[in-house]
Structure 1
Amino acid sequence: MSLTYKDVTYQDGIPHAVRVLGKGNKERVVVLSPTAQRALFQWLKHRNLEGHPTSPHLWSYTSGARKGQPFPARTVQAMLKRVAKKAGLKEWAKLTPHKLRHSYASALMEAGRGIDEVKELLGHASIATTQIYVHVSRKRLEEAARALPDVLG
């Protein structure tokens, strides 16, 4: 929620990465996925069409009494639940922005990325912390087991 325009880096006019501050004011750069790039591009376009590029905050109100003020964390959580419910997710009421980190980590692993890459993208100091976030699917576990040669012939 505290991201500002200056935290975004662009490549060919499209948002490419964001600079974030983690725990202990540890700074890292997170490269955006193509989907995240398009979503951020669309949001920034909306913000500019609403005539409010003057606020330094990326995630801020575009109208009303709070125009330009950043969204509070509870507002973001409520938006996420509303969108998840509208999308028909079964457990929309249990969804939180933090749970999206778990989904992100698991999706990266499902896409074949290594735990070390996921660790860096999440900004963890330890792989042990990253392992808490990663949930490997049964399909991947079966593929891993089938990858071993049949030594009994």
Structure 2
Amino acid sequence: MAGQLVACPATASKPAVSNGLPDVSLPCLGGGPDIRLADLRGPLVLNVWAQWCGPCRAEAPYLAKLAKSGKVSMLGIDYDDPRPELAVKFATTEGLAYPHLKDLDKSIQRALKVGGPPLTVFVAKDGSIAYVHHGVLTSQHQLDQLVKDKLGVTP
């Protein structure tokens, strides 16, 4: 089942960045090594989701389309989800063809102020968090505009 998801790539160890992603390592949902969030640099769109989250399902097509553009790196975090097998099914069915991590213990909750999914984090080239969008993305235009405005990339 996990073979259907994009495997997580190995990431080079980097120093944590001020105002960057938390220094937390999460296991890969689709196979591959654990990923230390503080190692990541942008332009990156990181989406926190869960298969039981209706708004996450609503915004999934916009994230899938952005991923297909190849203009920014994409990473998903399956958050507080007791059914990883359903999460894999959701991500593959929705065409979320990028790596996904799992955070069963809500280890990113405090650092990213996660009230619940969905939440989308825009990470700049230097690794700093450029913007955090709480709640559902309501259109492709909204997501593309945030990528342009916050990361300087035109999808």
TM-score by length of 1: 0.24
The higher-RCO structure (CA 8 Å, 6+ apart) is 2
Q: Which has the larger radius of gyration?
A: 1
Higher helix share: 1
Higher strand share: 2
